[in-house]
Amino acid sequence: MSSKSVQRPERVAVIGAGIVGASVGWNLSRHGAEVVFIDASQPGEGVTNWSFSWVNASNKTARRSYFDLNVAGMAAHRELAGIIGPDSWWYPSGHLRWADTPAAEAKFLETAELLAAWDYRVEIYTGAEVRSRLEPSLTMPDETPVVFYADEAWVHGRHLVGRLVAQAVAAGAAIRSGNAVCDIDTRADGGIRAVALADGSRLDVDIVVNAAGPDASHVAGLVARHLPMRREPGIVTRIDCAEVPINRVMHAPHIEIRPDGGTSVVLHSREIDALIDTGEDPGQLARLLHELAHHAVPELGNSRIRGTSVVNRPIPADGFPSVGAVPSVPGYYEAVSHSGITLGPVIGRLLASEILGGKRDELLADFRPDRFRS
Is the domain of 246 the same as that of 138? yes
Is the domain of 143 the same as that of 245? yes
Residue 175 lies in a domain: yes
User: Do the beta carbons of residue 41 and residue 176 sit within 8 Å?
Assistant: no
What's the domain range around 116?
A: 92-153+231-312
Is the domain of 291 the same as that of 323? no
CATH (domain of 276): 3.30.9.10
Residue 63 lies in a domain: no
114 pLDDT band, cuts 50/70/90, is very high
Q: Residue 7 has what pLDDT?
A: 61
Is the domain of 194 the same as that of 223? yes
Residue 64 lies in a domain: no
CATH (domain of 16): 3.50.50.60
Residue-wise pLDDT tens digits, 43-78: 999 999 999 999 999 999 999 999 999 999 999 999
pTM assigned to the model:
0.95
Residue 56 lies in a domain: no
* pLDDT of 132 strictly over 70: yes
Q: Closest by alpha carbon to 211, among 352, 357, 8? A: 352
Is the domain of 240 the same as that of 307? yes
Q: Closest by alpha carbon to 19, among 57, 58, 59, 53? A: 53
Q: Residue 374 has what pLDDT?
A: 61
Residue 72 lies in a domain: no
Residue-wise pLDDT tens digits, 174-201: 999 999 999 999 999 899 999 999 999 9
Residue 147 lies in a domain: yes
Is the domain of 337 the same as that of 287? no
Mean pLDDT (whole number) for 162-167: 98
Is the domain of 38 the same as that of 168? yes
Residue 4 lies in a domain: no
- Cα 15 from Cα 239, distance rounded (Å): 31
Is the domain of 145 the same as that of 237? yes
Is the domain of 149 the same as that of 97? yes
Residue 73 lies in a domain: no
Sheet holding 174-177, edge to edge: 174-177, 34-39, 11-15, 207-210, 332-336, 322-325
Q: Residue 8 has what pLDDT?
A: 66
373 pLDDT band, cuts 50/70/90, is confident
* pLDDT of 3 strictly over 70: no
